Chains A and B, each alone.
Chain A
């Protein structure tokens, strides 16, 4: 649990504590959308700067981790779409170059691409979960809280926590298996 007053206030030391506490989970998401360690650091900094700017939008009526992860995933997905659009433009340019005899960069091995794509799909899919499923999945899986802690943070019983997580995983599975966009 965080202290919303101190967070809204933008107190730097408290903000650093928040980065220490929630940073590892954020880095997992960021890594899925980055191409190098430098990209991870850049995107990570971009996100926490954005979180600082948006801090007053956190209403304090739900788990902070859920609000934070919405900001993180929205930003990562839009960053990824932008990069993909740029890359597509570049690939088209390179394809034209290849057609004219310019050497193009070799593609990564297929298996590696599949795993990376699957990992990204999981994070992108998370964005589509309804609030309760999203909160339960974030708190249990990303933040690693026990089912009891999740139940306390969300103000629902453990059976509801379990069913929210199961429904969330089922939805993500359909996205992973390509049955749902």
Chain B
């Protein structure tokens, strides 16, 4: 049995196409199952990650504080 091209597996693994033929193949192929797991993990299939504005704002505050410390160290030469 020939394994599908990687790009076809990627499109399927990222949930961007229905592919019954490929799906049937994957059931019987350990290599394609492993590749599909990798694709879905890295591609985040099935879970949409979001970054809240509150988190970004908290990061900006932290970075602002650090930037001030670096600036102060530069000026004081310590």
- List A residues at the B interface (Cβ < 8 Å): 10, 12, 15-16, 19-20, 23-25, 27-28, 31-32, 41, 44-45, 48-49, 52-53, 118-119, 122-123, 126, 137, 140-142, 144, 147, 162, 165-166, 169, 172-173, 176-177
Contact = CB atoms under 8 A, between A and B. Distances in A.
Given A122-B41, A169-B35, A45 B6 contact: no
B59 interface: yes
B14 interface: yes
Contacts of A140: 10
Interface residues of B, number: 31
Interface in B41-66: 41-44, 47-51, 55-56, 58-60, 62-64, 66
A41 B58 CA distance: 11
A14 to B, nearest CB: 11
A24 B34 CA distance: 23
B31 interface: yes
Contact of B51 (A10, A23, A126, A176): A23
Contacts of B74: none
Nearest to A17: B56
Interface of B: 5-7, 10, 14, 30-31, 34-35, 37-39, 41-44, 47-51, 55-56, 58-60, 62-64, 66-67
Contacts, number: 98
A15 B14 contact: no
Given A24-B49, A141-B42, A165-B10, A52 B34 contact: no
B68 to A, nearest CB: 12
Contacts of A166: 6
Given A19-B51, A173-B35, A28 B42 contact: yes
Given A122-B41, A162-B6, A173-B38, A27 B49 contact: yes
